[in-house]
Amino acid sequence: MARTHYIAGNWKMNTSRAEAVKLAQDLVAVLKDKKGKYMIGVPFVYLDAVSQVIKGSNIILGAQDVAATANGAHTGEVSTEMLKDVGVQTVIIGHSERRHEIGESDELINKKVRRCLSEGLDVVLCIGELLADREAGNAETVCAFQLSADLAGVSAEQMAHVTIAYEPVWAIGTGKTATPEDAEAIHKFCREYIAKLYNQKVADETIIQYGGSMKASNAKDLLAQPDIDGGLIGGASLKADTFAPICEF
Ligand code: PEP
């Protein structure tokens, strides 16, 4: 089965309510005739408003995080039930800013992944090495560890609802991008590793996005690589005219 190009925007902790609505309206207009798969990861408090705007469009509503547990006494958390209630279909889990700024562990990330999948939400699981890992020659080891730890207990059938985003931490928001060749090498490694964890069919069908300062000027070469199936875009997703061109390739 051919993998569809999947381009996702991660708005992070940005926009006002009015800006979020306007950006969503602009994206609905510019993406309406495009044939790829598109998602926007919207701040929790604007999900409901954006959901109304993109309803019926070809844009998937994503959240940037989720609680690992069901509704209950968990102050400040946002559950899968709440996300589904406002129309969320997919959740970004394990973003490096949550791993390294908030201190999320692979154990917690795995709980969130399994919670979403068991509740019918799709997942974009972010993995990737720190600069020190890369310089020590450990990029593959880190990605393999994160894949096996974060996907523990996830079945081959459930993998149809999991997208992997390979995001070298040193490339996120820094303007530094992995070369297409370096990114492809890790993507290929991850696909082979998924084949070991599951089977070749799952590996062939899993979409692996690249993330890390992707923009219109470098997206074409990155997306031309055989194992790079899309992008998770931070900075360039905050304006329709910087996001839409990435969706052209
Ligand atoms: C991200 O937030 O996942 C990301 C890749 O950010 P940026 O595109 O700004 O590097």
Q: What does the pLDDT look like over 65-88, one tens digit per residue?
A: 999 999 999 999 999 999 999 999
Residue 185 structural domain:
6-247
Least confident of 168-177, 181-190, 199-208, 231-240: 168-177
Query: What is the Å distance from ligand 1's center to 73 Cα?
Result: 32
137 annotated as belonging to a binding site for a ligand = no
Q: Which pLDDT band, with edges at 50, 70 and 90, does 248 fall under?
A: confident
Q: Give the binding-site residues of ligand 1, using a 6 Å CB cut-off.
A: 10, 12, 167, 172-173, 211-214, 232-236
C-beta atoms surrounding 173 within 10 Å: 13
- Residues known to be catalytic: 95, 167
Domain count, the chain: 1
Give the mean pLDDT of 214-224.
95
Domain contains 184? yes
On the CB side of 140, CA atoms within 13 Å amount to 13
Query: pLDDT value at position 175?
Result: 84
Place of tokens 């068991």: 118
Query: pLDDT value at position 80?
Result: 98
Q: Whose CA is nearest to atom 1 of ligand 1?
A: 234
Average confidence score pLDDT of the chain: 97
36-55 pLDDT, tens digit per residue, is 999 999 999 999 999 999 99
Domain contains 128? yes
Nearest to 119 by CA among 63, 56, 51: 63
CATH code of the domain covering residue 168: 3.20.20.70
Give the mean pLDDT of 232-243.
97
Question: Which strand (E) or helix (H) includes residue 214?
Answer: none
Domain contains 60? yes
Query: pLDDT value at position 1?
Result: 63
Query: pLDDT value at position 177?
Result: 84
Query: pLDDT value at position 173?
Result: 84
Q: What percent of the chain has pLDDT over 70?
A: 100
Strands (DSSP E) along the chain, which ranges? 6-10, 37-42, 59-63, 90-93, 122-127, 162-166, 208-211, 230-233
**What is the number of the ligand 1 atom nearest to the C-alpha of 97?**
2
Domain contains 1? no
Report d(CA 77, CA 44) in Å as an integer: 10
Q: DSSP state, 234?
A: S
Query: What is the Å distance from ligand 1's center to 203 Cα?
Result: 24
Query: pLDDT value at position 32?
Result: 95
Contacts of 155 (CB under 8 A, 6+ apart): none
* Backbone phi and psi for residue 208, each to the nearest 5 degrees, phi listed first: -120, 110
94 annotated as belonging to a binding site for a ligand = no
Domain contains 40? yes
